[in-house]
Chain A
């Protein structure tokens, strides 16, 4: 097995242990805890916080992908081309809003909890996916597109059989960026009482307990690294399929 494979397995094992059996690591975090204070976060199970955290990210990223890709498809059709600048502006606004501001604005409307976090993650996820989908759908090989029309594929068949499969690796890159941003941003959701791993970090900051901060940060970081890695591998695999395996030989 390659070094990369071993490292991947080791990191995954570490992550699972940190989430499921945090007490195993008390010795490591103890030096960072205040004297006499708690070392391991026990107000909620780290496993349930992790699942909630990931659940929020998956939900928000799925919604963002659906909306951004649909939007990108619409504005790259001849009939929708006029809306390209407008849709770019809208997704850009989503990105320029600081996540904390989105949370603050969403709380009065949606109340405390997961709702505002979901909105913030969704808005934040749109731009990278949309921009990448636009790039993917507008930089297809011209001869292939000409041939696709020329042999008699209709618009829908061109989209499904040629455009989306060829643009998929680039779209996935956008989704990957968006997911990783969301993994980090979701921690801020705990400021409005969303049940995420941010809770551990914020508890640590409020009580001056660096052990908590490290614990929460380490788990979120490991999730981000492993998910990022898995998605890169998926992209490489798909790129090889799109270029007919030549890239892999």
Chain B
């Protein structure tokens, strides 16, 4: 559990981060979202003490972060940033193994961990371990950057706009990968973004920052349904709100018995995808599949009810 307690950062008498408190549960993704200058990156950088807080403290599993030197603390906290920041003169394997090596792991253990992570990110270890970052595509470099941050099984993974430099398609894939890997490893992640779409897609919790203050902290559904301020409402995008809400609900949640024809939709897909498929193919109901079996259907009125009932 990460406890952020009344943490502030003052530059030249102006508070970049103003008495922010929040608690992050172990094994969850918290997305900090805000416009540029909202203090979200400063907040993140104070957690691993790349910036020293002016006041307040952070506790990781009950241990105050200032109880150890900054670089020792940072070896225990994963850190991935926009533009990956890989060491260009080290191979992929050495980049990923950087923190284990700092922590004094044996060569065999580090190597096994590097291969395990490459596998996890769908990169063949034999093919990629000895390559240099410049020989990889942007998406691959980004994956290696996240793998490096995860290498020592850190208590916490901090990510600062990790997907900011990727094109939309690679970006969506990277987000899905991150979600999957987080579920597999049970990591605790704090991620900073300016993209509310990304926040809603990835976050178990979303924290909205505005002018250095934490204006709302809750589940994506709470943020969409009850924006605390006009700014939050603006961030979740007035007209898109019902669609964003639908994107949080899986088809499986409202599947019903009954006939339907045409191309089926997967039970794990979101209601937004289902709505889109209905509109595009001019159907009122879609068959729902789990694996290869049809388990029922999802209807347009049922989708509409979900968007209405909660909005």
A150 touches B79 (CB 8 A): yes
Is the beta-carbon distance between A244 and B71 smaller than 8 angstroms?
no
**How far in angstroms is the closest Cβ of chain B from A67?**
26
| B91: chain A residues within 8 A (beta carbon) | 244
Q: Known contacts being A144-B87, A144-B88, A166-B88, is A244 close to B134, with CB within 8 Å? A: yes
Number of chain B residues close to chain A: CB under 8 A: 33
Q: Which of the segments A34-42, A151-159, A187-195, A218-226 contacts the partner chain?
A: A151-159
Q: Do residues A242 and B88 form an inter-chain contact, with CB atoms below 8 A?
A: yes
* B132 sits at the interface (CB 8 A): yes
Which size bracket describes the interface of A in this complex?
20 to 34
Across chains A and B, the number of contacting residue pairs, with CB separation under 8 Å, is 82
Q: Check B135 against A244 for contact (C-beta < 8 Å).
A: yes
- Per DSSP, chain B at the interface is mixed
Q: Closest 9 A-B residue pairs measured CB to CB?
A: A244-B132, A147-B85, A152-B75, A150-B79, A246-B134, A152-B74, A143-B85, A244-B134, A143-B83
Contact B86 A144, beta carbon cutoff 8 Å: yes
Q: Which residues of B contact A148 (CB under 8 A)?
A: 85, 87
Check B79 against A243 for contact (C-beta < 8 Å): no
Of chain A, the residue at the smallest CB distance from B72 is: A152
Which residues of chain B come closer than 8 Å to A242, judged between CB atoms?
Answer: 88-89
In chain B, positions 254-287 with a C-beta closer than 8 Å to chain A are none
- Chain A residues 223-249 with CB under 8 Å of chain B are 241-246
Min distance, Cβ B129 to any Cβ of chain A, angstroms: 13
Best-surrounded residue of B69, B88, B98, B131 (most CB of chain A within 10 A):
B88
Which residues of A sit under 8 angstroms from B82, Cβ to Cβ?
Answer: 143
Report the Cα distance A229→B89, complex, angstroms. 24
Given A243-B88, A244-B133: A151 in contact with B74 (beta carbons within 8 A):
yes
Q: Identify the B interface with A (CB < 8 A).
A: 48, 50, 69, 71-76, 78-79, 81-89, 91, 98-99, 102, 131-135, 145, 148-149, 158
CB pair A152–B87 under 8 Å, yes or no, is no
Task: Please determine whether B102 and A245 come into contact, CB atoms closer than 8 angstroms.
Answer: no
Given contacts A146-B81, A245-B134, A246-B132, contact A151 B98 (CB under 8 A): yes
Known: A242-B88, A244-B88. Contact between A151 and B149, CB under 8 A?
A: yes
Query: Which residues of B lie under 8 Å from residue A149 when comparing CB positions?
Result: 50, 71, 74
Q: Looking at the complex, which one of A151, A157, A244 makes contact with B79 (CB distance below 8 Å)? A: A151
12 contacting pairs across A/B (C-beta < 8 A): A146-B50, A146-B81, A147-B85, A150-B74, A150-B79, A151-B102, A152-B75, A152-B102, A153-B102, A165-B89, A244-B133, A245-B132
Partner of B81, one of A143, A152, A161, A243: A143
A63 interfacial by beta-carbon distance below 8 Å: no
**A 162-221 contacts with B by CB, 8 A:** 162, 165-166
A153 neighbours in B (Cβ, 8 Å): 71, 102
A108 sits at the interface (CB 8 A)? no
